Amino acid sequence: MNARVLPYVLILPVTLFLGLFFLYPFVLVAKQAFGSQEGWSLENFREVVDYWKFPISLRNTLLLAAAVVPVQLALALLMATMVSKMQKGRDLILYIWTIPLGISDLAAGIIWLAIFEQSGFLNSMLNGLGVIDKPVNFLTYQHPGVVFLAIALAEIWRATAIMLVILVAGIGLIPKEYYEAADVFGASKWKQFTRITLPMLRPSLQTALVLRVILAFEIFAVVAALGGTLFPVLMGETYAYQFDLLNSGAAAAMALIILGISIGFTLIILRILRVPKGASI
């Protein structure tokens, strides 16, 4: 077959697949979001944005992302650096650290619920230590901080490994000679991390952060398990519009708003972590 045509033929199946199962539904959602009885309108967007829970769920989602992602980034960097320095047992540790990735987000939420609920492990432990004399229900509206903390912890536990895996691969791509040069020219281990590893890791940091930030805006099941209605987030509201209020126009509008926020943050991350022309490895 013609060598110029072949690549296009080879990507045809996946293009068709994405067109059928991604692009087409996306167009339908967009039509729904912008549609109303009188044709095109922003009515659905106005409705969801004006709703009293919208600012709260937007703020909660952003707050959660702002609390979780930096911690995950720092942890993932630390863990990736540790794994990369290991001589033996490196794969084993990596597998163990990535176990939470294999658990669904709802299951992860339920695991942490088992820790924080009234009859949960945390209560048993505090009771056993004599810190409290009767079980406390932490996950209520009286303890918004604890609810937030529980959700954040569950998210950190569940989804740090996805960044870890990307960063470990990225660190592995940095040639050893750069560190030797840095050693000879007087860079301390910390300086080597900040002046060599971090800048040379930019492409991997981009990927890891984009992926993680997008997932952070889509947070749903962990919140549903731990916070229920106490802690409204954007994706939870979208679910409520679609299945509780049976307002698919509003749900579609919410979905597009979340998409817009994700695209916005992706562009910001790509911009901040861009590699200047000619400066890649």
Report the nearest approach of other proteins to the CB of residue 190 (Å): 11
Number of shown-chain residues binding other proteins (CB under 8 A): 23
Taking the least distance from each CB to other proteins, the nearer of 114 and 181 is 181
Q: Does 39 bind other proteins (CB under 8 A)?
A: no
Q: Which stretch binds other proteins (CB under 8 A): 56-64, 76-84, 130-138, 175-183?
A: 175-183
* Binding region for other proteins (CB under 8 A) out of 20-28, 53-61, 138-146, 178-186: 178-186
Residues 260-279 that bind other proteins (CB under 8 A): 275-279
Closer residue to other proteins (CB): 53 or 195: 195
The token pair that represents 183 in the structure block = 């050693």
Binding pattern to other proteins, positions 182-221, x when CB under 8 A? xxxxxx---x----x--xx-x-------------------
Residues that bind other proteins (CB under 8 A): 175, 177-178, 180-187, 191, 196, 199-200, 202, 275-281
